[in-house]
Amino acid sequence: MKPIELDAADIRILSALQGHGQLSKSKLAEIAGLSATPCWARVTRLKKAGLIRGYHADIALSQIITNLAKVVVTVSLKRHRKSDFERFETHILNTPEVTDCISTGGGMDYVMTVVTTSLPDFQTLMEAMLDADLGIERYMTYIVTRQIKSARPDLARLVAAQSPKAEPETKV
């Protein structure tokens, strides 16, 4: 699938939404350097293209949940058939405690983040996953003791880095 063509204004809009979530039309237009109507037309186009998947708030869960347990888990499956991956991924998609899951190449098949109300609840969840016959060969857990950084990628920098560099002029 060919990526959608984005100009500098589109990148400013996406970067603003990524950094601040849902903004008022006037504030977003101000940040993007556009008037409100053309800015909102661009937002609509970017949504239709699937580039804006949603808005969210960054909630301080540890201030709400007393014994919050955040655990990073690596998982290796016994077999590597398409059906094995599909069964595991379907289960993960239906497990709300798994907040992030990526498929990886190399020694482990998946790396996921699990958030529960306590470590015993985490253990219960993992035991249920093992009982669900998902083909898990082994898993390793890493208990998060504190979060050092949580950020979204710098969209403008990534776009600039992928742009072809201008060839230096050669003198004849």
- Count how many domains the chain has: 2
Give the CATH number for residue 103.
3.30.70.920
For residue 119, what are the contacts with CB-CB under 8 A and spacing of at least 6? 67, 69, 71, 143
Does one domain contain both 80 and 124?
yes
Domain co-membership, 46 together with 73: no
Q: Tell me which residue range forms the domain holding 66.
A: 61-143
Is the same domain home to 98 and 80? yes
pLDDT score of 107: 87
Give the 3-state secondary structure of residue 68.
Answer: coil
129 exposed, middle or buried (CB, 10 Å; 0-12, 13-18, 19+)? buried
- Flag whether 170 is in a domain: no
CA atoms within 13 A on the CB side of 157: 3
Report DSSP letters for 3-50, one per residue. PPP--HHHHHHHHHHHHHSS--HHHHHHHHTS-HHHHHHHHHHHHHTT
42 is a domain residue:
yes
d(CA 92, CA 129): 9
Q: Are 62 and 70 in contact (CB under 8 A)?
A: no
Q: Identify whether 32 is part of a domain.
A: yes
The separation between the first and the last C-alpha atoms of the chain, rounded to the nearest angstrom, is 40
Determine the Cα–Cα distance for residues 72 and 54; give it in Å rounded to an integer.
24
**Same domain for 96 and 26:** no
Task: Clarify whether residues 48 and 80 are in a common domain.
Answer: no
Residue 162 belongs to a domain = no
The conformation of residue 137, written as its DSSP 8-state character, comes to: E
CATH code, domain with 35? 1.10.10.10
Does any domain span residue 113?
yes
Tens-of-pLDDT digits for all 172 residues of the chain? Answer: 567 788 999 999 999 999 888 889 999 999 999 999 999 999 999 999 999 998 888 888 888 888 899 999 999 999 999 999 999 999 999 999 999 999 999 889 999 999 999 999 999 999 999 999 999 999 999 999 998 998 888 988 988 888 776 555 555 4
Same structural domain, 34 and 66: no
Asked if the structure places residue 164 within a domain, the reply is no
Cα atoms found within 13 Å of the Cα of residue 127, Cβ hemisphere only: 6
